[in-house]
Amino acid sequence: MDLATFHPVILFLALVQVVLALVEPPANVTLECHNMHNVLRWDYDQLVPGLRFRVNIGSIGGSPNGIWVDSPTKQADVSFLSDPSNEYIISVTAVIGQNESGSAPPDAIEFSYFKDALSERICSLDLPSVNVTTLHDGKILVRFMHPWLLYKTNKPSSQKKSKRNKDGQISKELPVFRYMVEAVHQVRPSITSEVAYGIDKA
């Protein structure tokens, strides 16, 4: 048997190896992000031994990062990606041994908690419970907890550095957020005020 006879066989084996090396990408990748609780979910039909998923994470001004998820789990808690001053891009890759799929979705998912971000997905926060107290001269006092203190998980990597205020007391810097106070059902025209809330005094 001459060498030419082996060529079709070698070509066939090579094609079989290429087919076996193909790894299908995850499907139906979705992100739920609300109140600083972010969960990435996806579907995958072929749960074979050794299958793992890599969640690819990028951010503005940050180096690419990733976390690993072992099958059959098909979701990842990415609540640590909640800095309102940042924008994130995230996708999922299926990995079997040395072989891996393309990223899904192909264009990735861009999201941020900053309302003026250019990301395609803007995540939101619910305003905490509000206490309203009537004061003298028709004034009212509005109180509520800073959303960061209510929703953000207590992780060392997510906490801001503490510093001393002008009174020498230690205070914790919190991300600034803006809220609107509007008077309705008034005889006078309604008055709307906008307030930036960023410091929690100790």
11 pLDDT above the threshold of 60:
no
Q: Is the pTM of this model over 0.75?
A: no
pLDDT digits (tens, 9 = 90+) for 55-95: 999 998 788 899 999 999 999 999 999 888 899 999 999 99
- pLDDT band for 187, please (50, 70, 90 cuts): low
pLDDT at 108 over 90: yes
Segments of the chain assigned to CATH 2.60.40.10: 3-122
Cα separation, 172 vs 155, in Å, equals 14
pLDDT at 38 over 70: yes
User: 110-160, pLDDT tens digit by residue?
Assistant: 999 888 888 889 998 888 888 888 888 777 888 888 877 888 754 444 444
CATH superfamily, domain 3-122, is Immunoglobulins (2.60.40.10)
172 has a pLDDT exceeding 70? no
